[in-house]
Amino acid sequence: MSQEIILGLITFFTSTIAGVVGIGGGMILIAVLPSFLPLNALIPVHGISQMTSNLSRAAFGYKDVKFEVIPKFLIGSIVGISFFASILYIISLEYVPLFIGTYILLSLWSKKFNDKLRKYENYYLLGFFQTGLSIVVGATGPLTMTLLLKDYEDKDIVVATAAALMSITHILKVFAFMIFGFVFFDYIGILLAMIIGAIIGSWTGTKLRNVINGKKFIMIIKVLLSLLAIKVMISAFI
């Protein structure tokens, strides 16, 4: 029972962070879970908690969700999860985190890179990679956040829309692991505690977000994204 309580509190904390700044909670959680769960359960259990966290965050901020980007992202996600699930056992993806981190840093801070990237960067492509790669690296939310930051300046739009898109990623990932045969019921106690923590954290983060200055908020997201990108890149060598 103590493990369930601890994981519930950790999920509340990470979900609150994500509710305030839009990202970071999932990556913090995936870094903590190895201390509590066997390796084969890490990404499936993480997927359920993040599905709940993002769905609740999108629901609390549904008025700010830009629904026009969802069909594009969904199409890319379906193709991506199908592709990566089919080749999961035949290719090495150990350097994927390095490419993800490099893309995030260049996208955030390099004008020249963005000028070239703008010709190709879209929600179809990012849905493909964010959702497809999520079954391997767990937390890929920063990928679409970089595009949302370019398209929208309102912090509530960025966070709510990112939550809606990440909900798609985690829902499809959970279905993929169900097809793989993972038995979620074996972890029902832990999952219930994390689901409760995720929902309460999303509500708390949504309330706290309203007291943060918009321009400072965007800079906070960029700095946090950069730190997460560096962490992801280092993980490729450790």
What pTM was estimated for this model as a whole? 0.81
Instruction: Find out whether 96 and 186 touch, Cβ atoms under 8 Å.
Output: no
Given a cut of 50, the residues of the chain with pLDDT beneath it are none
Report CA 190 to chain centroid distance, whole Å. Answer: 20
Sorted by sequence, the CB contacts under 8 Å of residue 80 that are 6+ apart come out as 127, 128, 129, 130, 131, 132, 133
Q: What angle do CA 216, 227, 98 make, to 5 degrees?
A: 140
Residue 122: CA count within 13 A, CB half-sphere: 10
Q: Which of 32, 44, 55, 35 is nearest to 201 (CA)?
A: 55
Which residue range is the domain that position 38 belongs to? 2-235
CA–CA distance, 66 with 63 (Å, rounded to integer) = 8
Q: How does pLDDT run across 158-199, given as a tens digit for each residue?
A: 999 999 999 999 999 899 889 888 899 999 999 999 999 999
Q: What is the pLDDT of residue 94?
A: 67
**Tally of domains within the chain:** 1
Q: What CA–CA distance (Å, rounded) separates 12 from 204?
A: 9
- What's residue 213's pLDDT? 67
Are the CB atoms for 30 and 46 separated by under 8 Å? yes
pLDDT at 137: 67
Max CA separation in the chain (angstroms): 52
In the DSSP assignment, the letter for residue 188 is H
- Calculate ∠ Cα 186-187-189, nearest 5°: 120
